[in-house]
Structure 1
Amino acid sequence: MSQLTPEQEQQIPSYAKKWRDIAYSTEPIDREKVTEIISRAYFLLDKKAPPIIFCGSPFDYLQKISVFANNSQPLDFSRIADRLNLHFGKIFQELGDFHKQATDLAKESSELNPKMQMSVDEVLQESFPEVFNLDELESNVEQWQKERKEASQQFQQELKESFPEFELPEEFGEGLNTALDYHNKVQSEILRQITHEQRSYISELLGNRSTFKPRILYNLIDKAIRPYSENLAPRLVYNAISNISCADNYNWFDFSISVLGCDCDLEWWQSSVDIMQNCGYVYPFENICYVCDRPSKILFDENGLAHALGEPAIEYRDGFKIFVCHGTLFTEKYISVPISQWQPQWYIEEKESRLREALIEVLPSDQLQVEWLLAEENTNLRQLLTNKIGHERILNDIKINDDLNILSQSLQDNSASSFWVAYAILKNQLEPKIQKVIEKWKISRGTFRELLQMLLIDSLERILAWQNQNVPDYEDDFQQGLTYEEIEEKVKDLPFKLPREFYHLYQWRNGSSRESGIFLYLYHCPIEQALEYNEYINYPESIGMRIEDNCSPYLFPLFDFDGEYFAIQGIANEVETSFVCHIGADGGGEKLIFNSLTTMMMAIAESYESGVYIYEPEYNSVSWEDMEKSGQIRLKYNIGTAKRIYGEGG
């Protein structure tokens, strides 16, 4: 099975809808039907169906089991963590010692001649028959497994005796969520019959990697009820089966079994589907089972994140309510008063960008401050503030002389980035190199767009000039620039637009080899290479995560060094400039570090010329001389961006 047939692909939408409806259902559960389903599931485990206690919500479940709490204070997980670290640390130390001995032995014996190697092999087989004697290997493995099981049982018993507060009440019996949940078993069975690539393709078509993310909703509910479970045994809290948390796996399980014909235990599969389809949360124990009703209301924003202003985004029939803003829980101060009483000073105090977004939406425009715009690092919120405050008020309140008449032009660009570029130009127009370009621009009576292009190209040429003057035997291996039409042909199929300064950059040069850095060691990617990196950076899960984090969904990489990128934001419309973010090679999150390509190059050019970057002959490379000053120069041209690129500065 290398790919899906057209007929199979046509069935994808029905399975996507089926499991979306299951995950987000707000219908009340049918208690009689649920009782029958739970009884049948226990029967498959050869267990008697226990009494079922129905709960109005997961919060109601926690209230009902709170009588079994053994602690008046939140559980101290550090004690059991220390014990686990000690136990497993000893095992890993023994494995590490054995691995080192084996590695050393292999290294020494690998250089032996074949005859000597045979002698060594004979000695090893005689000395370690339990490992090298194939006739005894099977029995040795069985013995090892038996000893491992006994050791595990002994350790579990020790934990029970040492940490009784973490154990289930005796009257509950064992937790059965793992036994009743067919999830892990059916997944392993299906993955033996289809490839990982096929699974990924099916999941993508179902929307699991972009539009359908029920686990976010599950995590929200979990976070909302967590304060009420801190003194309860974890196995009481997490012995759960949830239709919400599993739906983005069950949809491709269902498709693989029903459409592709993958084999599995159909009786178990149907039992598992029945639980998902007819219950809310299920907390199954050996001697009792709790089943929660579904929410009566779930409200979403345009990105599929739970969201509502002035009302709960998630509500249960028993009255439990969860207040959420674009996937982020509101804190108590927002819930305790009507939204008409929200205070402007909360914006300055608020760390969560989603809650600052809520304040922008709720507060009257005359209560929003231009100072917030100048201090805001989140690019989405910059745009929201700009739109709501309005261009006229921004121009009136901004404390700067717009003698070049570029601020008003920048605000017409429909890009939050362009305003910041114009602001930086006005703040730094007396810098000699900047002033020289501005004078040429004045003579030509150019537009704001032409000034941006002149400053960008001038800064790039200054960087190249420094390299030629300060790096011995420097080779300019930048490729010849492309025409506008050539660039447009290469990027026409992207699902986003790139700013005009991107075109100016690639009309100047089409990237370089890894030997010609722009920002120290990061080299300018040829456009073909940038398009390849784009596929890696903008895969569906990554786009979804950026949306959840209230960031721009698309980033296009322009500069690279071994997986570390400077990437420009992709936008919906044609604009002059766009923000530039840093993507760490360690997989860290993206952060705004330059307000545009133009201000990026202006800052880098000045950093080279002021001695912040220096050539180091012993390494034949350019490096920092002063990271602190480097950061100061970057922020001078890129106001409101991250305070540091790296931990040390920059």
Structure 2
Amino acid sequence: MWPIDTLTPIQDAQIEAFFQRWLAVSCATTPIETQQVEQTIQRSYALMGKRQPEILFFSGPLEAQAYLQERRIDQLLNQWGVPLLTLPLAKQLSHQVRSQLRAELLVEISERLKVAELATLSQNLSLITWTPLAELFAWNTQHVEEDTAPWGGWSPSLWDQLWQQQQTEWRQAIQSQPGGDLLVHVGETLWQWGEPVGQALEDAVIHPFRQQPEVQAWEQGMQQMLTTMGLVGMGWQALTQTSEVLHPALLDYCIEVLECDHEPEAWTQLRSLSTHCGLILPFEQMCVVFDRPIQCHADPEGRFHYEGGAALQFADGYRSYQFHGVQIPERYGTVHPHVWKADWLIHEQNAELRRVLIQGIGYDRLCQELQAEALNTWREYTLLRISPAIDVEPIYLLKMTCPSTGYIHATRVPPSIQSAREAIRWVNWDTDPEEFAQES
């Protein structure tokens, strides 16, 4: 039976339903049930062989900010312990499922299930939620009192725990290779022979190993994380989106539809963490939980997007205005793009926001409201130039006026174009308009 290399028609037909199921999970706005969340987290920690953590609930980023502003970050992290950078449950299940499918089929299912869009949505939600906290962590870390160590009193122990956590993952990777168990056993035996041999091993093997670029990159990443909490701020959903860990939607489909063998308890807990617990960030001694937003809107590409209101809103009053994944100020976000004004572009200093305004307003309205200059005309087509510097490079437009309806449509063309006829040729993939007219 294994590995599976093709889908039956019935299995194939169910992919879209699983995408819709997990899209609903990603955009869910129903408040979490705290008792159910507590039970799920406690069982999950027990299944991972860890002691029961304290659980800290927040209704949104503003409430979390208020909580952290009243406490010293270094002391808080000492109490919480190190973050769990990967969940063993996810890695275990992913390894089991991968071993039962052809790699090509797994890629095909992932693409048709739109896992990339689902992962983007989860990561964006986590980033939006945690960014205010990451900024607060960064500020507090940079303002540690002078009588503390350079990294603060918490950093040496946390750094050691993070290093040990990564060494455990490297050990597992070594053991998965032919002869890996023997290599790990020899290393452990050498350490047991005593400090002199252990130090020799440190000097001859471990120290050179830590000089390798990929290991140094990991250490630098960890240092940056501990300094700004930027990586930790992504939440577990983002941290588990690695090449080794399959998205829960993909695991769900493979387990339920393809009937892949798996560890039932591990899947029960991981699925519950994904569907019932909102946004979580697990530490060794603490698990931070955010309630679901009360409003959540996204476009088909998994980017937060809403016109005329907040794309994301939490019960504590936090709002995020987004236009196809770009954060925009409230002054733009509360107004529908249909009534955005073209002259806002003249006063907007941020280049990214200008691009959003251009996209929302559209070139049709821009050429009318900004009194674009006509450079050349050919039949019902006009080459226009918008004089105000509202983008990185000058805006040249090919305007077409429908003779029967009077409807105006404008398309942007490169600023190097000199005539309306040349612009038509560029729009039609280098086909001359006379030839295009004959073919039509």
Alignment of 1:468-547 (within 5 A): 500-502=428-430
Larger radius of gyration: 1
Q: Does 1:197 align with 2:90?
A: no
What secondary structure is seen at the aligned counterpart in 1 of 2:304? coil
Q: Which residue of 2 aligns with 1:64?
A: 67
2:419 to 425, 436, 439: 425
For residue 283 of structure 1, what is the amino acid of its counterpart?
L
Contact kept, 8 Å, 2:308 with 2:334, in 1: the verdict is: no
Q: Does 1:272 align with 2:239?
A: no
Distance 2:281 2:414 in 1: 54
**Identity among equivalent pairs (%):** 20
Question: Can you list the C-alpha shifts for 1:548-586, whole angstroms capped at 9, x where unaligned?
Answer: xxxxxxxxxxxxxxxxxxxxxxxxxx999xxxxxxxxxx
Contact kept, 8 Å, 2:58 with 2:291, in 1: the verdict is: yes
Residue 32 (structure 1) shift? 1.2
Q: Does 1:20 align with 2:23?
A: yes
Contact kept, 8 Å, 1:281 with 1:292, in 2: the verdict is: yes
What secondary structure is seen at the aligned counterpart in 2 of 1:274? helix
Unaligned runs of 5+ in 1: 71-164, 363-383, 427-447, 457-498, 508-573, 577-650
Distance 1:228 1:405 in 2: 57
| Alignment CA distance shift 1:246-1:62 (3 Å) | farther
Q: Does 1:34 align with 2:37?
A: yes
Distance 2:333 2:132 in 1: 13
Distance 2:50 2:414 in 1: 68
For residue 259 of structure 1, what is the amino acid of its counterpart?
V
1:411 to 382, 400, 406: 400
For residue 282 of structure 1, what is the amino acid of its counterpart?
I
Contact kept, 8 Å, 2:26 with 2:118, in 1: the verdict is: no
Q: Which residue of 2 aligns with 1:231?
A: 139
What secondary structure is seen at the aligned counterpart in 2 of 1:357? helix
For residue 60 of structure 1, what is the amino acid of its counterpart?
E
Contact kept, 8 Å, 1:12 with 1:206, in 2: the verdict is: yes
Q: Which residue of 2 aligns with 1:344?
A: 343
Alignment of 1:348-367 (within 5 A): 349-353=348-352, 355-358=354-357, 361=360
1:171 to 62, 79, 82: 79
For residue 183 of structure 1, what is the amino acid of its counterpart?
A
Return the structure number with greater relative CO, CA threshold 8 A, min gap 6. 2
Distance 1:204 1:275 in 2: 24
Alignment of 1:310-325 (within 5 A): 310-325=308-323
TM-score, length basis structure 1: 0.42
What secondary structure is seen at the aligned counterpart in 1 of 2:16? helix
| Alignment CA distance shift 1:318-1:501 (3 Å) | closer
Q: Number of aligned residue pairs: give it.
A: 322
Residue 358 (structure 1) shift? 3.3
Q: Does 1:281 align with 2:276?
A: no
| Alignment CA distance shift 1:168-1:296 (3 Å) | same
Q: Which residue of 2 aligns with 1:182?
A: 89
TM-score, length basis structure 2: 0.60
Contact kept, 8 Å, 1:306 with 1:326, in 2: the verdict is: yes
Distance 1:403 1:213 in 2: 45
What secondary structure is seen at the aligned counterpart in 2 of 1:411? strand
Q: Which residue of 1 aligns with 2:365?
A: 388
Distance 1:316 1:337 in 2: 20
| Alignment CA distance shift 1:7-1:361 (3 Å) | closer
Contact kept, 8 Å, 1:186 with 1:269, in 2: the verdict is: yes
Question: Can you list the C-alpha shifts for 1:195-229, whole angstroms capped at 9, x where unaligned?
Answer: 33112100111122468731344334444554333
Alignment of 1:633-648 (within 5 A): none
CA RMSD of aligned residues (A): 4.3
Q: Which residue of 2 aligns with 1:8?
A: 11
Unaligned runs of 5+ in 2: 142-224, 384-397, 403-408
Contact kept, 8 Å, 1:3 with 1:198, in 2: the verdict is: yes
Contact kept, 8 Å, 2:303 with 2:324, in 1: the verdict is: yes
Q: Which residue of 2 aligns with 1:398?
A: 373
Distance 2:411 2:234 in 1: 45
Q: Which residue of 2 aligns with 1:375?
A: none
